[in-house]
Structure 1
């Protein structure tokens, strides 16, 4: 996966794009590749009132713009699987969403059902109340159980950072790492606030290169993307992906 690192206050104007071999390529904003930017975006539709027409549009836009994936609720996974069959766009299905308050057994069944219906990746909301109650062993075991149940499919752990203290965020990241998760996602988009640079930096300091970081919630512009990637995010969850590409301009 490509990692974009932005430097300085004028992050929108200059960045370094690192390839898989670690080589650095400086570019100005006018030379930013739209296709590369699109590959960092998971096109998102998680509203409870989302319609079939909107889901079809989501998938169509993901294909036409070359987004990394789509992020949807479980009920729409089969339709997305049908529309995106034989394409590289991944389906990221969110479970126990947005509260995380389901039992571990229900989360496991929801994850298995999503994979059966065509999901490529699972994003699970942690049991926020259990974490805040100090039941860290339960939270870690729940994550590990879901990771095991998915049989190798990537599992993102959604923290809902707006609900957590600094210490709780660190603990959740450490537990996710030990439990075998593939990534940390900051927010559901339904909390008091979404992705913040300071949270991305804290997560990055905690997990290093061992887990990917998905910044999600409140990301609406290319400048927002630049700030999140500069802070350490690997990719972005947003419903504004098309507008973000338009911000960048035509190649």
Structure 2
């Protein structure tokens, strides 16, 4: 257990909460490691029927921590771990999601968000690309809509995220919406859940097998580029990047 990941359990459902509110749950090296360790514990514990991934504060995740980013290999490993975990993973979102946080959502099996949540692929605005997170996103999202939001960095709402395929459902009361879902998981056979999840994630894992090395290399190359340094400096300084016209 790590201070960055809150944990609790109720009737076989383990809740993991991103708890780095001072950085808006940005994906730092430490946060990625802590979440990976917690997921590994859940995968080995026969008493865990399902996992809920949620957050404290008003942001589910602000994306990569620009001051302490995880290695691309570590992020690939975390996303694959979510996809391969032999337990269903349910995302519960009551705040905003940016960039790498959308990769976490796409790697979960079922996703629910409040209607007030907002989403954006902001990578292009700081000089990089949504490379590694494309591994779970591209196989599951609508390609035409995805092209718009990948290329523009525009913000979109929860209803649009459902249409995109990034969310399962949106509701004013997320916990009420999740109650029948979690009840269904609790009533399901653990062996059957694991094998059914394997069927559902086969195409996503094919994408990991085929593209992970290339996308990891792309991410590393872009983050080391001069334009990315300008974009990140501008973002941290709360100014427009030099290329804005």
TM-score, length basis structure 2: 0.35
TM-score, length basis structure 1: 0.34
* Larger relative helix fraction: 2
